[in-house]
Amino acid sequence: MSSSEYLRNYGLANMKAQVAWQAGATGNGVTVGVVDSGVSNSQADLVGRISSASTDVVPGRNTPYVADDSHGTLVSGVIASNFNGLGTIGVAYESTILSIRTDISECTDENTDVCFSSSDLVRALDFAVANGVKIINMSLGGDGRLGSAFEAALLRAVNSGAVIVASSGNDGEANPGWPAQYAVDPRFAGSVIAVGSHGANNLASNFSNRAGVTAAGYISAPGEAILTGCDGTSCWQVSGTSFSAPHVSGALALLMDAFPNLTARAALAILIDTARDAGDAGTDIVYGRGLLDMAGAFRPVGASSTPLADGSSIVTETEPGSFVGPAFGDAFARQTALGTVLFDSYDRMFAVQLGSAYPTAPSRSYQAAPFEPSRTATTSLALPGGGRLNLTASQPEATPEPIAPRHDLTNAPWLGDEPRQEAMLDVAIGRMSFSTWQGRGGATSPFDGAAGDGFAALAQVDHAARGAVRFGALSLAAETGTGDRRMPLRLVEEEASTYSRATLAWRGEDGGLSFSLGDLDERLGPLGAFLPGGSDFALPSRTSFYAAGGDWSLRPGLAVIGEAGMGSTRVEGRFLSTERTAISSTWRLGLLTGCWTVCDRISFTLSQPLRIERGAFSAYLADVPVEYFDPLTYSRRSFSATPSGRQIDFILGGERRLWDGSSMTVQAVASREPRHVADAAPEFALIGAWRRRF
């Protein structure tokens, strides 16, 4: 918002009224009863906003409208000043004011210009109830209870479904005055709110009565240097909790306009639940529940769910750190097919884009893992027939303090600070061999080096087994691995991912070739996704993959390496599934050669990380209705699983052995369209490492 009338009043931005306006809420159709000193029906900024049913309840006077900018006019201006290019904007600028003039002229306090009698306040409440008003603003107060007749009228108002917004008072005391203190009276609790004042700095105004005993039913709203009662560009600047209360009344009108199923009591509960914390954490004796905040009030509150056509619903919550597999790139982020509705704990309906529950995978981390000293123990036994059994185990050396935190949201968000440990058992007899491995704390499977590693690695297994048989230059191997997921404060998800792979390989003097086929079962989502199984957004999947790779020496000191793989993925989620199988591909091509002067070896690699080439998702979801109370209809939605771009990595690496036996490696990486996003800026990385054996 940049209009001059919006900018004149800091209070609108402070309470984030623009969030409600952007959602289409203006207060249209909502009437706010203002129990006060009457209103000017000719005030320029209130033209068309004053109800013709406005009245004067003081017996014998019959003067509902006043000629000047009275207290009631200024209060009404905070609620409903027109959005008309002059003056200021009211919080609910299309609401209607039912002015109930209640002031009397015989004030016992000579410093008070406007005062009220309890009997007239009784008439005012009853008049509001008789006219169906659900929001009653009472910017007034005193030191004592208002008597049994008033309390009976207040009970009638509450029972009719009305809420009362009462200013806390301007004496700078520890507790609000009355009727604000009725906010915590069990007879009225939840239907009366006490409103204090704060300024543009979000600090409680010096004059404002604090929350005190009403902390559970008290919030603070802008009340210092408020502009209202404008005629053209000439405005009154006023301060007091009298002008904090109408900010809250206007906020209630916005909520009831935007969500017409809300009762006034529910709308008030939302304002209390979503108040912005201030002062001491939680509810406190200065700010009560906090500062008025329409941004919070216009977000879903409590448990939210989306209805499905079969009568069930899904809970619209995902685990922190969740993401879809990087092969999908921005396919979820850029789709518009998953627009539907959700209902919060107050049964409010919101339009929602479920695709936002599937965040794009984070950027790859190029940071090298920290060096962790470890102890390794190896036992080797000879077996009959020339066989051999080897047992190897390793665990970290004891260190006074952790070298670096192991928690990694990019590669393994479920890993905590458990130590890195692994053990491996090898048995070799003649042409046959068998190996089993188990690891924890981020240890990686040793069974790599064959085609299809890019798919197998997605399982991030912590135990695996492999068997192989050799026939001269040919070998046939089969392996399987399973990974568990250990999230903090959650049950272990056992066998969250499993892969199986069979590989036929040939190795000659100048190089080798391998062909693999396999299967990848991922309960936490397809192709490296992290969508924990307890969520309705989980996408358990199964992928069949095929790959071929090899290396070949063209001449001494010059070799070429390459690999290509393809996968076929099916997904069956709670509400979202693959309509057409997702076909993925990955490839890399590299050249290794000697380097005569500054290095010993140099490599150049061109590669494409795993990417979806074709496929589609579909869901059967509720349509967003044209009108709030229209019955829900459902339709089938589909969107492409293919990302907008194609990431290509260019990698240049070099290695140099130094005179003292150590070695240094340098790798430069450039990525075009990173994360398979077409308009993403290129990414660059330079990685260096120095190693020495002791």
- Give residue 406's pLDDT: 46
Give domain status of residue 453, yes or no.
yes
What CATH number should be reported for the domain holding residue 684?
A: 2.40.160
Instruction: Take residue 386 and report the two structure tokens written for it.
Output: 């020339």
- 381 plus 275 within the same structural domain: no
- The pLDDT tens digits of the residues spanning 583-595 come to 999 999 999 887 7
Does residue 410 form part of some domain? yes
Does 347 map to a domain? no
Burial 554-573 (b: 16+ CB within 10 A, else e): eeeeebebbbbbbbebbbeb
Q: What is the share, in percent, of the chain residues with pLDDT greater than 70?
A: 91
* Secondary structure E strands in 556-662: 558-571, 576-594, 601-622, 634-640, 648-657
Dist. CA 622–CA 635, nearest whole Å: 7
Residues 270 and 413 in one domain: no
pLDDT tens-place string over residues 15-45: 999 999 999 999 999 999 999 999 998 898 9
Q: For the residues 342-371, what does the mean pLDDT come to?
A: 82
E strand or H helix that includes residue 252 = helix 245-258
- What local confidence, expressed as pLDDT, does residue 693 receive? 62
Q: How long a stretch of residues is the chain?
A: 694
Residues 395, 519: one domain?
A: yes
In-domain check, residue 385: yes
> What pLDDT does 403 receive?
46
Residues 249 and 381 in one domain: no
Query: Does 303 fall in a domain?
Result: no
Q: Which of 282, 297, 312 is the last residue of a domain?
A: 297
Degrees, nearest 5: CA angle 184-276-344 = 85
What's the pLDDT at 418? 66
Please indicate, yes or no, if residue 38 is contained in any of the structural domains.
yes
Is residue 306 a part of any domain in this protein? no
CATH of the domain at 170: 3.40.50.200
Backbone φ, ψ for residue 149 (5° rounding): -65, -45
User: Does some domain include residue 302?
Assistant: no
* Same-domain status, 284 and 382: no
pLDDT at 405: 47
Domain count for the chain, please give it: 2
pLDDT at 189 over 50: yes
Q: Are residues 175 and 285 in the same domain?
A: yes
| Structure-block tokens of residue 4 | 């001059």
Domain termination residue (choose one: 255, 279, 297): 297
Return the DSSP state at 258: H
Name the phi and psi angles at 147, rounded to 5.
95, 165
Check residue 454 and report its DSSP letter: H
* Stronger pLDDT, 224 or 110, i.e. the higher one: 224
Residue 436 contacts by C-beta under 8 Å, 6 or more apart in sequence?
A: 424, 425, 463, 464, 465, 466
- The region of weakest confidence among 33-37, 73-77, 233-237 is 233-237
Cis, peptide link before residue 179, omega less than 30° from 0: yes
Do 253 and 402 lie in one domain? The reply is no
Cβ–Cβ under 8 Å, residues 648 and 608: yes
Rounded-to-integer distance, Cα 617 and Cα 521, Å? 18
Inform me whether the pLDDT recorded for 312 exceeds 50.
Answer: yes
Residue type, 102: T
Query: Are residues 286 and 423 located together in one domain of the fold?
Result: no
Question: DSSP labels for 108-156?
Answer: SSTT-S-EE-HHHHHHHHHHHHHTT--EEEE---BSS--HHHHHHHHHH
386 in the same domain as 243: no
Q: Give the tens place of pLDDT for each residue, 481-517.
A: 998 876 655 666 778 899 999 999 999 888 999 999 9
Q: Are residues 552 and 649 in the same domain?
A: yes
* φ/ψ of residue 634, rounded to 5: -130, 150
- Tokens read off for 171: 């004496």
Asked if 487 and 622 sit in the same domain, the reply is: yes
β-bridge partners, 641 = none
Closest CA to 33 of 145, 153, 126: 126
Q: What is the pTM of this model?
A: 0.81
Q: Which of 281, 297, 313 is the last residue of a domain?
A: 297
In DSSP notation, 496-521 reads EEEEEEEEEEEE-SSEEEEEEEEEEE
Instruction: Give the range of the structural domain holding residue 500, as residue numbers without chain letter.
Output: 374-691
Structure-token pair, residue 420: 């890195």
Model confidence at 530, in pLDDT bands (50, 70, 90)? Answer: confident
- Looking at the fold, whether 292 and 398 belong to one and the same domain comes out as no
Least reliable range by pLDDT among 315-329, 451-465, 611-625: 315-329
- What average pLDDT does the segment 203-213 reach? 97
**Please, what is the angle between helix 118-130 and helix 147-159, to 10°?**
10
Backbone φ and ψ of 540, nearest 5°: -60, 140
